[in-house]
């Protein structure tokens, strides 16, 4: 286990944590299903290998009503029966947006079009903001070697 290099940058810079929490509050106000957004945040942190993000994401998903099957199998969502059509579309978009460098067309039309079939533009915006913010938080945790359960 690595030693943390420094405290959370969002706490060290005055106002940063509040700004990040403010974006989350605005996203929550869009009416998007909190459980779906939590599963997407969890998937982002799994992809990024972010311990604090995964640990927090599991708890958040459970609090928002995600089933045990969903929480335990979100990394393999394509191969399980526990995700609805909208959840699958959101998770596919989440993965594409998180893995931008993995392909020449980072978010292929079929991935975008499927998400757009299930969500209107405001909901897509909330989903994209959720994924972007989760990625930003993971990118603060990884270089500072923040550990899960150590706040």
Residue-wise pLDDT for 55-95, tens only, equals 999 999 999 999 999 999 999 999 999 999 999 999 999 99
- Who contacts 9 (Cβ-Cβ below 8 Å, separation ≥6)? 16, 140, 144
State whether residue 30 is helix, strand or coil: coil
pLDDT band per the 50, 70, 90 thresholds, residue 102: very high
Of 59, 58, 63, nearest in space to 46 by CA: 58
Average pLDDT of the segment spanning 6-28: 94
Q: Tell me 83's DSSP state.
A: -
CB neighbour list of residue 29: distance below 8 Å, 6 or more residues apart: none
**What is the model's pLDDT at position 150?**
53
The arithmetic mean of pLDDT across residues 136-143, rounded, is 92
Q: pLDDT confidence of 149, banded at 50, 70, 90?
A: low
How many angstroms separate the most distant Cα atoms in the chain? Answer: 45
């Amino acid at each position: 286990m690595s030693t943390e290099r420094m405290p959370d940058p969002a706490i060290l810079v005055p106002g940063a944590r509040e700004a990040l929490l403010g974006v989350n509050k605005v996203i929550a106000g869009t009416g998007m299903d909190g459980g779906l957004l939590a599963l997407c945040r969890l998937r982002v942190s799994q992809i990024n290998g972010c311990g604090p993000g995964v640990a927090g994401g599991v708890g958040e998903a459970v609090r928002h009503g995600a089933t045990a099957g969903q929480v335990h199998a979100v990394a393999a969502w394509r191969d399980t029966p526990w995700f609805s059509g909208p959840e699958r579309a959101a998770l596919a978009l989440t993965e594409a947006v998180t893995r931008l460098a993995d392909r020449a067309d980072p978010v292929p039309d079929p991935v975008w079009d499927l998400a757009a079939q299930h969500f209107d533009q405001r909901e897509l915006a909330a989903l994209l903001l959720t994924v972007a913010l989760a990625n930003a938080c993971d990118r603060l945790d990884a270089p500072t070697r923040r550990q899960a359960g150590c706040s």
